[in-house]
Amino acid sequence: MGNIFLEITVILCLASALSFIAKILKQPTILAYILTGVLVGPLGLFHIQNQDFFKALADLGITFLLFILGLEIRVREFPSVGITAFVLSIFQILATFVLGFGLSLFLNFSLISSLYISVALSLSSTVIVVKLISDKKDLHSLYGKLSLGVLIVQNFFAIAVLILLSSFNSKEAISGLQLLFTFFKGAFLLLTLWYLSIKVFPRVIEALSASSETLFLASIAWVFLLSLIVSSPFFGFSIEVGGFLAGLSLSNSFANYQIIAKVKILRDFFIVLFFVLLGLKMNFSDVVAAFFPALALSAFVLLIKPFIIMFLLRFMGFRKRTSFLTGISLGQISEFSPIIIFFGLRLGHIPGNIISLITLVSLFTFTFSTYKILNANWLYLKLAPYLNFLEKGETPAEQLIHSDKKLTDFKDHVVLIGADQMGESVLDALVGTNKEVIVIDFDPAIVKKLKNKNVHRLFGDISDSEIKNLAKIHSASLIVSTIPDVEDNLLLLRELKHKKSKARVIVTALDSSDAKVLYSEGADYVVLPHLAGGRQLAKIIEKDLDEISDLRTKDLAFL
């Protein structure tokens, strides 16, 4: 026990130090965990004797990771991903799989190994992409929504692969009859759990939620119980699949986010050990042999995979900026990729050197894609003149949807950027004026909702120069931006200053530091939602508290 405690202490201390360095270098912490394993494994900084113990903990980490993924998936909300993201995902996975398979065969990997490698290359990292796009406040931009939609479909694909793999025994040949039996077992489990999640679990969760400790303990017990059931000889799935199904069965409960918050801490601890184990599994001789193949596969993921996505979006009618940013965002492999490879190794389908190969590809693609995503706008500005092949003239996906007037005739009009929430209130005030109003929004649902309004609508991103030209922002008299993205607002202000526009500009910021920067760049007024809300509440209190009921009635009608 003393040795185990010492080994855990060394691993956690080293992982913590490397995580701190990764944070400074703006790199995902997953890299730090893998490097921890490399340092104590192939490089021999510290000898780990109890690898079986760490493997058991790593299996728990994957189980809790999939449990939370299942909790975060709401089946009823899946259609909100949109047909565009769904079609893009399917063709991206197919194209990347086929090309990746061909490249793997060219690099002299076996047929089965090439299949596993091509599946691993087809997926992108949800953790990295969502974290970085969220940090840039682009999660609700058009390319952000497309990227998120693709990741959701990819996650379902990854889970389907894991369910399929978990039904096979070690080194067992795959037969059509076994595939059919696996399908029926999986369908039976899903239907049973779906019924329980609708009829039974909501009442159980409601009864347990009175105590957060009891709710947490019962949730963990359900993960272990279902994992035990699905891994029984009858079903033959893995415990990790049981974790996902346990989460999916609780995803529609009102307390699912409370469960997620509790379990995330537990998951983070165990998942650290999984990625450390990946590093431990690397063999120094395998790393040397896999280095150049890993470089070739990483180049494919970093360069070819983004262009596959860009070309698909081009043919779907998107502008080059949206296509470029979406492709750049998805140019890495997934945290699921090593998990799938780990399953293949466990089943005896692939040799151990494939673990070293995919771990190296993870290190290369996670590192370089992070910097690509963080500097995507700068890269686009530099490369935009050479990306005209990504547009095919008419762009029905992001065109002007409605206008009763020629665009060239717009002058002294009002441009509203963002028509959701705050923007909707602003729009109601603008519609009552005699000014022509152009609304720009990157959410197609919001644009469609404005169909009956007497406004001109543009579906696109304000940071796209083509959208700016269509909206004639340089000849507008007033521009109101309700989006809090400081980078987009700064680009807008600087372009207006460069063009010597006389438009009055109102923008939005989330904090005072951003507001000061926007004012220094020429904004006429910066809306700070918390400040504006506080002032409005102060006026209500000072004026007449009896008006609260009237305001409540108006707000409820608006909602």
pLDDT by position in tens, the chain (length 559): 557 888 888 888 888 998 899 888 878 888 888 888 888 876 666 677 777 787 788 888 888 888 887 887 655 444 445 678 888 999 999 999 999 999 999 999 999 999 999 999 999 988 788 878 877 777 767 788 888 889 888 988 888 888 778 766 555 555 567 667 777 887 888 888 888 888 888 888 878 877 878 888 988 999 999 989 888 887 878 888 888 888 888 877 777 777 887 887 887 787 787 778 777 777 777 778 888 999 999 999 999 999 999 999 888 878 788 889 999 999 999 888 988 998 888 888 898 889 889 988 998 998 899 889 988 888 888 888 888 877 765 554 444 444 444 555 678 888 888 887 787 788 877 877 778 888 888 776 677 777 777 778 887 777 777 778 778 888 888 999 988 878 788 888 888 888 888 889 999 888 888 888 899 988 999 888 878 777 777 777 776 666 666 666 666 665 5
Nearest to 159 by CA among 190, 181, 131, 132: 190
Task: Report the SS3 class of residue 94.
Answer: helix
Phi, psi of 508 (to 5 degrees): -120, 145
* Cβ–Cβ < 8 Å for 499, 473: no
**CA gap 57, 488 in Å, rounded:** 44
Phi, psi of 299 (to 5 degrees): -60, -40
Residue written as token pair 């607002």: 489
pLDDT of 221 reads: 92
* Cβ–Cβ < 8 Å for 47, 37: no
pLDDT of 484 reads: 81
Tokens of 156: 């379902």
CA atoms within 13 A on the CB side of 162: 23
Domains and CATH numbers, the chain: 2-168+184-388 (1.20.1530.20), 399-527 (3.40.50.720)
Phi, psi of 379 (to 5 degrees): -60, -40
* Cβ–Cβ < 8 Å for 68, 263: yes
The 456-459 sheet, strands edge to edge: 400-402, 456-459, 437-441, 414-417, 478-481, 504-508, 525-527
Phi, psi of 174 (to 5 degrees): -90, 120
Q: Is 292 exposed, middle or buried (0-12, 13-18, 19+ CB in 10 A)?
A: exposed
pLDDT of 303 reads: 94
pTM over 0.85: no
Cα–Cα distances in angstroms (integers) from residue 483 to residues 133, 147, 422, 534, in the given order? 15, 19, 9, 19
Distance of CA 502 to the CA centre of its chain: 39
pLDDT of 42 reads: 67
In sequence order, the 6+-apart residues with CB closer than 8 A to the CB of 199 are: none
pLDDT of 396 reads: 47
pLDDT of 11 reads: 84
Task: Report the SS3 class of residue 375.
Answer: coil
Catalogue the long-range contacts made by 443-447 (C-beta closer than 8 Å, 24 or more residues apart): 443/140, 443/142, 443/145, 444/82, 446/419, 446/420, 447/401, 447/419
* Cβ–Cβ < 8 Å for 473, 496: yes
In sequence order, the 6+-apart residues with CB closer than 8 A to the CB of 423 are: 416, 417, 439, 441, 480, 482
pLDDT of 95 reads: 96
